[in-house]
Amino acid sequence: MTDLVRTVSLDDLANVLQLKGFRAQPAEWPGGREALLSAAGGVTFNIVTGNGSPGAYGDFTFFAGFRLEGLALAEICAKWNMERRFARAHGRDGMLNLEMDVLLGSGVGPDYVAAMTDVWNQLLNELLITLRAEAAKTGAGA
């Protein structure tokens, strides 16, 4: 039986991103949590560590923020959250934030983090398509 992964380090996360073809740069995050800065399709995103200690985190969050002007933020978030799984959208003060938590605590297979990175990339692309479609309907820039 394969050993289960229950924690990851920032280096582990950076290695997965790089194997998937993404850049991985250490970043500062409010509250002193360790984070990585990356991008997909020209959109910057972060991976923010969660519970645990340096070198042994039991969870982490993918995060991307978008400034929206001229779009119905509350409606976009509500529709996204009704139609999609895994990542949640929320907005405030003209910012739409997309977040996806990844939990490892009970143990996951060695390829799980890479698979969740693929899910994040797909959801980020779907959000961009959604925002472009909304902008086209309203004539606003996304």
CATH fold of 10-138 reads: Yope Regulator; Chain: A, (3.30.1460)
Query: Residues 40-91: pLDDT tens digits?
Result: 888 999 999 999 998 899 999 999 999 988 778 899 999 999 999 899 999 9
At residue 142 the predicted structure's pLDDT band, cuts being 50, 70 and 90, is low
> Which own/partner pairs from 32-37 qualify as long-range (CB within 8 Å, at least 24 positions apart)?
34/10, 35/10, 36/10
Residue whose entry in the numeric block shows the structure tokens 């309907």: 137
Indicate yes or no: pTM above 0.85.
Answer: yes
Query: pLDDT tens, 16-41?
Result: 999 999 999 999 899 889 999 999 88
What sign does the dihedral 66-18-123-34 (CA atoms) show? negative
Task: Give the start-to-end residue ranges of the domains of the chain.
Answer: 10-138
b/e string for 102-127 if b means 16 or more Cβ within 10 A?
bebeeebeeebbeebbeebbebbeeb
Question: Which DSSP string corresponds to 87-99?
Answer: -EEEEETTEEEEE
Residues near 140 by Cβ (< 8 Å), separated by ≥ 6?
68, 69, 70, 71, 134
Q: Which residues contact 132 (CB under 8 A, 6 or more apart)?
A: 142
